Amino acid sequence: MKKMNHLKVFGIIMIIFTLLITIGYTMQRDTALLPARIITDAVSIVQRGYIGVVDRANGLITNINHLFRTYEENELLRAQMYNEQMIRLERDQLRAENDSLKELLETGETLTDNEKMMAGVIGRNLDQWQDFITINKGSQDDVEVDMAVLSREGYLIGRVIEVNQVSSRIQLINYQNTTSKVAAVINGKPDSIGGLLQGYDSVSNELVVTNIGRDVEVEEGDEVITSGLGGVIPSALLIGYVERVEISADGLTQTLYLSREGNFNNLDFVILISRRAVSADD
């Protein structure tokens, strides 16, 4: 039997011991570093989550700022559009008023024999649209009851029935319930004297003149004016033009239906004619 080599045994033991020490040290080191790694990993996860939340919050704030900025820009644009619309409407209104005043001046030149006054319409009741208007001239402007009232185109449209200090009320000739009549005559045909403007056909939008003699030759387009015989409305004021003629039921007279030019549903300016103006008696 061979003798055991003690040196080899000792070397093997030393190698095993060294390996055991190394393994033990390594295991001890890894065990010591495990909590640190856990903390580090946790911090890393929290940090990544925090960064994600912060990024999302920043993105949300940025989007909200963009929304507010867009809203403010829209409001600014809307305000600019509103201002431009208001300017356009004011411009159109001024143009319309300017045109109205031009027509008033042109009409006034044809009424040089009459005392005239221009006035603006300031009121008109919806339930009496075809009956009455209110103007911005009154007793302080020498307005009197029974003054004749013309449209800006020069047509007789009514008379003053009530005068206050700074305003007056006008009864339009379209008024259905009036008992007053306006003496009328066909211009250039003195045998038509005795005609009476006494009605309004709301269906056909025509004024009605009655009591024209059967023998009077009436043609479409004839001009009908005031005769001044009533003593209230001056003479030679334009009423309208003959649109059609009907013979009365008794066959003795003719009824004339008159048309007028102009928008009488949108009166803005009118002309007052004094009853002291030139009449047929003069």
pLDDT digits (tens, 9 = 90+) for 58-71: 666 777 777 777 77
Of the CA atoms within 13 Å of residue 3, those in its CB half-sphere come to 3
Number of other CB atoms surrounding residue 107 within 10 Å: 20
| Predicted confidence (pLDDT) per residue in 77-118, tens digit | 766 664 565 566 556 556 665 665 555 555 554 454 567 888
What mean pLDDT comes out for the span 241-267? 89
The pLDDT of residue 28 is 52
What is the percent of the chain where pLDDT is above 70?
61
Answer whether residue 242 shows pLDDT above 90. Answer: yes
The pLDDT of residue 67 is 72
Answer whether residue 23 shows pLDDT above 90. Answer: no
H or E stretch at 18: helix 6-109
Q: Would strands 238-247 and 116-123 be described as parallel, antiparallel, or unpaired?
A: unpaired
| Predicted confidence (pLDDT) per residue in 201-227, tens digit | 888 889 999 999 999 999 999 999 998
The pLDDT of residue 99 is 65
- From residue 50, give the alpha-carbon distance in Å to each of 42, 45, 105: 12, 9, 81
The pLDDT of residue 142 is 92
Q: Which amino acid is at 199?
A: G
The pLDDT of residue 112 is 45
Look up the CATH superfamily of 110-273: Rod shape-determining protein MreC, domain 1 (2.40.10.340)
Residue ranges covered by each domain of the chain = 1-109, 110-273
* Bigger pLDDT: 175 vs 161: 161
3-state secondary structure of 264: coil
DSSP per residue over 157-214, as a string?
A: EEEEEEE-SS-EEEEETT-TT----EEEEETT-GGGTTEEEEEEETTTTEEEEEEEET
The closest of 248, 259, 189 to 218, measured between CA atoms, is 189
Task: Work out the pLDDT band at 73, boundaries 50, 70, 90.
Answer: confident
